[in-house]
Structures are given as C-alpha cells and as structure tokens.
Amino acid sequence: MLSEKSRPVIEQTIGVIAERIPAITPEFYKSMFNARPDLLDGMFSRSNQKNGTQPQALAGSIAAFASHLLNNPDSYPDEVLSRVAHKHASLGLLPEEYPTVHEHLFGAIAADLGDAATPEVVAAWDEVYWLMADA
C-alpha cells in the first residue's frame, strides 16, 4: 500500500500529474524508443503510438491506480491491474523491462515538471509506479 510519507504528496500532485500525463507520455515514448528502438517492433503498436491510444492508456492506468490508492488505501484496483496484466502478457512484456519504462517515464516527468519535480514528488510517484509494477 501507499506509504504515509507518499500519501500527502500524491494527494497534492495527482491533479497536476494527471493533467500533464498527456504531455509527458509522448516525450517518454520518444526517449524510450530512441534508446530502445527494438521495443517499437512487436512490443508497441506503431499505429497506437501515432493515434495516441497507447499514451492515453498509460495515462489512464497510472492516474486510476494512484486515485484508487488514495481512495481505497487497503486494496488495489483489480480491474485496472487486470487490463494492464492482460495487455502485457499478450505483448510478451516481461517485468525485466519495467526498469526501462521507469527510467524514461521518470525522465519525462522530471523534464516536464521542472523545478516542481522535487525529490519528494519524484519519490512519491516512484512509489506509485513500483507498487503498480509489482502488483
């Protein structure tokens, strides 16, 4: 579950992060695919990248997960996690790739938020990411 240290930070920043995710995700994917072009073939749909479906799915799942943690501190959003797990399984995405996603996603978040990406904000959202990844 979300730690008591991270909870107030997530409460204070979820609106901004949710609002900014549509701007963050294109930079995240650009950075990740520049570093790992092999992920674009077979792992991620080029058409879903172009039409924005994939970034919207990422934004929706992260925001839904964080919101659920705030509103239901003793449980995980099984429906959201099930959709993500099924998608990852169908693509053959393994947990070994989660650090790659993390590196580029958090780089994009930090770049987008600038000075607002304080160590506390980054640590709290880092916790959300790994709770979701490990779930």
Which domain CATH number covers 33? 1.10.490.10
Q: Is residue 27 part of a domain?
A: yes
**How many domains does the chain fold into?**
1
In a domain, 2, yes or no: no
The DSSP secondary structure of 20-50, one letter per residue, reads: HHHHHHHHHHHHHHHH-GGGGTTTS-HHHHH
Report if residue 111 sits inside a domain: yes
Phi, psi of 43, rounded to the nearest 5 degrees:
-95, -40
- Domain hosting 75: range is 7-134
Cα–Cα separations (whole angstroms), residue 8 to 43, 54, 89, 110: 35, 29, 33, 19
Buried b (16+ CB within 10 A) or exposed e, 91-125: eebeeebbeebeebbbbbbbebbeeebeeebeebb
pLDDT at position 47: 58
Q: Is residue 123 domain-resident?
A: yes
Q: For residue 75, is it within any domain?
A: yes
Q: Is the pTM of this model over 0.95?
A: no
Which residue type is seen at 69?
L
Write out the chain's pLDDT in tens, 135 residues.
899 999 999 999 999 988 888 888 888 888 988 998 887 776 665 555 565 556 566 667 888 899 999 999 999 999 888 988 887 787 778 888 889 989 998 899 999 999 999 999 999 999 999 999 998
On whether residue 1 sits in a domain, the answer given is no
